Chain A
Amino acid sequence: MLTMHWRTLSTVAALAAGVTVFSMTTAPEPAPVAALEEGTFSIDGTHSSVVFKIVHLGVSPFYGRFNTVSGEFELHEDMAESSVRVEIDAASVDSNNADRDKHIKSADFFNVEQFPAITFESKKVESKAEDQYAVTGDLEFHGVKKEVKIDLRFVGSGERGRFGYRAGFEGRMVIKRSDFGVKTMLEGLSDEVEVLLGIEGARK
């Protein structure tokens, strides 16, 4: 019984070691992260994300997203000359609840019939650290245009087969929705909204 047990254990150990060695030798190499290259990129809405976080009843973070994102960005060797324009379809808001989505789209919140698009247009790009930037620009949301700052991090770029040359960033900004005239249910939903961006562009 004991002999059989040891046999089983040694077999499993040998298999595990084999699998580990196999996986170490055959795992695909991560694509090389190239330095930023100049160019004009159109935002790939299918591979870009705009997620927002709002605190519900002061107890929990709630995440929602927008499903339709478009726009373009220009990259220059001198990043200060770079620019980005993002357009979000306000009606594409998705909070994982159809009834709530209807409410968010109504005049209580986004009023998507009146303000169908949410746009961001950069005015200034500053380098903060390696691959990290502060992008200042105008956010137009709910008919109000205000200057905001996005903390942006370069994630990667390079030739990606059939996808062509790609470059991508992730960003984060915090806004107060009341600054944009969205003041409904401030007692239950936080005024502060964190917006997380995952932007992938295809070089034109």
Chain B
Amino acid sequence: MELVDPIAGILLPVGVGVVALLLGWRPWDRTASRGRFSALASALALVGAYLLAHVAYFDLPPLPPVEAWHQLGLLVLVSLVLVPLEGIGGGVRTARWTLKSVVVAAFLWIGLSPKREHRWEGFEEVLWLGGTFLVWMLALGALSDLARRRARGLSLPLSLLLTFSAAAAALGFSGSLVFARLAGALAAVLGVFCAVALWRPDLPLLERAHVPAGIALVGLATCGAFFSQTPAAVAALLAFLPQAARFPGGDGLRPAFLRGTLVTLCGGVLVWLARGEPDPSSQYY
């Protein structure tokens, strides 16, 4: 293991997480007012961790980005725009979902263009694009709802940490070290969220800031399915893995760990499925 792995995959994400969360939420100050600025700080921690890991591991992507996983970095960055709009009802809610739909559709249209041009024909193209779009919107919608229900406490950060850990293992075992490393970097920064949530369980750290995490999760799963060997079903289920945190109970530590255990169990099954049946004689992995 080269030195770049612990730096890009752990130190940088944790560093950016610590700085953004401490400045944005001031957890030591119980009288501080917190609002959209704090939510944006959480989102910046996630986006910063993702992009810094991307650059540290693989350098700057070419501009304009050509490969889908490079474009995903841009999409994660763009998702910052959606964060201040999260949780607002009325017309803003419609505008937010329209914007999300347009951004996701554009990513899929451009990112999956090699599939459209070289692999899919006719109805197959409609089926794959439509199905993937549906998975994206359902997964992002379910995560938004979950983030409202589990806004406070350890449950959501821990579930997302375990989800990204499972995603890293599943993506790595199914052929992509690149996607595994990016998922791992997000798991590392979510460790900081867990620490702050343990310190101040009353802070809604991810209530609005879940958007970049959701986009990165579904995006990496999509890249794994279409540009690596991650089985499509596993990729789709990875997108919904945080939903295990819906398991009933309060905001305390015990229910949070129970939810975490459930995510771990489901994630373990997905990793096992993603690993498939490697040729035992190949001794490659």
Q: Which residues of A contact B (CB under 8 A)?
A: 97-100, 102-103, 106-108, 111, 113-116, 143-144, 181, 183-185, 187
B66 on interface, CB distance cutoff 8 Å: yes
B30 on interface, CB distance cutoff 8 Å: no
- Evaluate contact between B115 and A103: CB separation under 8 angstroms: no
Closest 3 CB pairs of A and B: A99-B284, A107-B227, A106-B228
Question: Interface size on B (CB < 8 Å)?
Answer: 28
- Evaluate contact between A143 and B228: CB separation under 8 angstroms: no
- Of the candidate stretches B139-147, B159-167, B171-179, B250-258, the one touching chain A is B171-179
Interface centre among A98, A102, A107 (most CB of B within 10 A): A107
- Evaluate contact between A100 and B282: CB separation under 8 angstroms: yes
> Are A98 and B282 CB-contacts (below 8 A) given A106-B227, A106-B228, A111-B227?
yes
Q: In the complex, which residues 195-232 of chain B have their Cβ closer than 8 Å to any Cβ of chain A?
A: 223, 226-229
Note all chain B residues with C-beta closer than 8 A to A181.
62
Q: In whole Å, how far is B1's beta carbon from the nearest beta carbon of chain A?
A: 8
Note all chain B residues with C-beta closer than 8 A to A100.
282, 284
Point out the residue from A99, A108, A114, A143 that lies within 8 Å of B176, measured CB to CB: A108
> Are A107 and B284 CB-contacts (below 8 A) given A114-B114, A143-B67?
no
Q: Which residues of B contact A (CB under 8 A)?
A: 2, 4, 58-59, 62, 66-69, 114-115, 118-119, 175-179, 223, 226-229, 278-279, 282, 284-285
Main DSSP-derived SS at the A contact region: loop
- Evaluate contact between B175 and A102: CB separation under 8 angstroms: yes
Chain A to chain B contacts (Cβ below 8 Å), 9 pairs: A98-B279, A99-B282, A100-B282, A107-B68, A107-B179, A116-B114, A184-B178, A185-B177, A187-B4
A31→B157 CA distance, assembly (Å): 74
Note all chain B residues with C-beta closer than 8 A to A114.
66-68, 114, 227
